[in-house]
Amino acid sequence: MSSVSTRRYVPGQGEGEGEDGDNLEPAETTTVGKAADGRSPRLVTAGLTLIMAFPLIVALAVLRQPRWFPILDLAMTELRIRDVGTANTPLIGLPGRIGVLGQDHGSHPGPLSFWLLAPAYRLFGSTAWASEVATVVLHTAAVATSLWLARRRGGTILVLGTAAVLATLARSYGAEVLTQPWNPYMPVLWWFVLLMAVWSLTSRDIVALPIAVLAASFCAQTHVPYLGLVAGLGVVAAIGVGDHYRRADPVTRHRLRRWVLGSAALGGLLWLAPVIDQVTEDPANGTLLVEHFGNPSEEAVGLRRGAEMVLLHLDPWRLFTEQGADTGSLAEASQAPTGSVLPGLALLAIWAVTVVLAWRLRHQALIRLHLVIAAGLALAVLSISRIFGPLWYYLMMWAWGITSLLILAVVWSVGAHLLRRADAPPSRTLVRAGAGTLVSVIILTSVVFTVTASKVEQPAPELSDTMQALVPPVVDVLSDGDAPGQGRDETYLVVWSDAIHIGSQGIALVNELERADFDVGVIKPWSTPVARHRRRDPADATTLVVLATGINIERWRAKPDAEEIAYVDLRTPQVRTEFERVRGSVIDELRAVGLIDLAAGVDTNLFAAAIDGRVPEAAQDGMTRLLDLGEPTAVFIGPVSMMD
């Protein structure tokens, strides 16, 4: 005799999941989760990944020509990618604003980003452009992984919803962010993967554990601000796995132990390199990190400021309309975001209402998603509150990932509430309409992103253009093996006297000379930026190579042994006139407010002066303009004794 179920319909819960959510199977078998047109969910996931990757493929095509010359951090990154697989495989991350430059200069925790970039970098020719291709490969992998996790949680409809918010998030970050292999940019989509993976673990899907370990390691090793965030989410994940183990039967517990042990082994492997550095180097990078953040040189911004920054990043209008890296200049990038917190407060209030809706529905998947979002918001406030020094925009870019997931949870909660009120499974027509709407959002957003991506420019194009004009003659001169102190059998020491861009082009020159198979090294103060194994004692070098900018060019021209082998000034006469006019105005403004030291720095260290917190707004605008206009650059060679 058949029986009739009296349980009310709960959207998103499949046949294998009761209201206590004890099932171990992914949710893709639910009625709501089936593909609206009957297509394979895997095919849908693959197609969406391709659609979302298309704008970045267009960006790569645009960036292919002219040749790009990486500057500063991006040159440091390529040097380390090139080191992967050699005797000097990197053990730590990129140098950061950690410790003291030239003394105990610390780096970000680990080298995982370099390791993961290396395969595609070599596959596409080991060029600067290949590093951008490798970056897009990593971001595409993050998108595919997020969609795969979404399919396990809620089937095809949730995949479409996740793709919609990811497409919006990617468009918001922009092609500039998602093609550059810069360490603050590379983890932004993998942070979203981590949030999805932790949600899966709280939903008792142990298969997500190795993904969480990989994503957490990638984020934390690549950019140190993620360390606290990752640690906090790690606690949430551990609680989820522990609760799963406590409720499981003996067979399932055995399965869980295998996944946990395997994931622990993966984590140990991923963190082996920083551990090796810790036991072999003195001072070790881990020690420098602990000393730097344990004894900060400035006061942290505090909880109130942290909460304000989180609310600014909860503004959906900014997410939908702005580009995340649209800062205008490096000097402007050092300033904290501004604006009203009211949109963020409004979204937060709406989210709180949907949390109540999910709780009343006893919708386990949604409740756990809301818990992960709540943990992410709390960790966000705490993490930002601990920042000391300038609130650089890139220190908080990850917050948009939380906002995107929050918006997804809000829409899903409202939809689940409406379906519950109907007290019946959604009709096929309704499912198709919902899927069609989401697909339209994905396609429209991707089209808009493709249009903006088609106009992408390489980072610091003026400096890259200068290097494009400078490097070929330098390589030609140094290749002349018949001249004394020249040729590829010599050992070169590269130094720089940069009056404007804190050594950006000097590091770029090291990268390009090494690419051209010259044996180059740097003095100790710059060994951490270019990797410690490139440190060279002046006594071990046969030839000195000097890059000079601005007023420093005349100083090197005055040295009798210095031979000028390249000179570049891309400025037109009108631009030079504007430079002198703005320079005079800035110096007058700084002197008028008693900033005599910074007035001198306009000619000797412009970038450092531009980001000094004491600078009035008008003077800072002027220095930003000077940075954009640039100054001439020259390269000299001669005996190492010229350094004296």
| pLDDT band at residue 20 using 50, 70 and 90 as cut-offs | very low
The mean pLDDT of 390-401, rounded to a whole number, is 92
pLDDT of residue 556: 96
248: phi then psi, degrees, rounded to nearest 5: -80, 160
Instruction: Could you list the beta-strand ranges (E) of 472-560.
Output: 491-497, 519-521, 543-549
Q: Which two tokens stand for residue 286?
A: 């881990």
pLDDT of residue 377: 98
- Strand, coil or helix: 590: helix
pLDDT at site 40: 77
Tell me the per-residue pLDDT of 417-470, one tens digit each, with 9 for 90 and over: 998 887 777 778 888 888 899 999 999 999 999 999 999 999 989 999 999 999
Whether 483 shows a pLDDT value over 80: the answer reads yes
Lowest average pLDDT, out of 27-41, 64-78, 217-231, 285-299, goes to 27-41
Pair of tokens at residue 147? 């969609």
- Given a contact cutoff of 8 angstroms between Cβ atoms, the answer to whether 185 and 176 are in contact is no
Query: Do residues 387 and 301 touch, judged by C-beta distance below 8 A?
Result: yes
Q: What is the pLDDT of residue 286?
A: 93
97 in helix, strand or coil?
strand
Enumerate residues 6+ apart whose C-beta is below 8 A from 243: 202, 204
Helical H segments across 520-572, by residue range: 527-530, 552-557
Q: What angle do CA 94, 402, 374 make, to 5 degrees?
A: 120
Residue 359 contacts residue 207 (beta carbons within 8 Å): no
3-state secondary structure of 605: coil
Cis peptide before 66 (omega within 30 of 0): yes
CB atoms within 10 A of CB 158: 25
- Average pLDDT for 373-385: 97
Collapsing DSSP to helix, strand or coil, 497 comes out as: strand
- Distance between CA atoms of 64 and 247, rounded to whole angstroms? 54
Query: Can you tell me the distance from the alpha carbon of 465 to that of 550, in angstroms, rounded to the nearest whole number?
Result: 17
Q: Give me the sheet containing 563-568, strands edge to edge.
A: 519-521, 491-497, 543-549, 633-638, 563-568
With a threshold of 0.85, does the pTM exceed it? yes
Per-residue pLDDT at 335 = 64
Q: Of how many residues is the chain composed?
A: 644
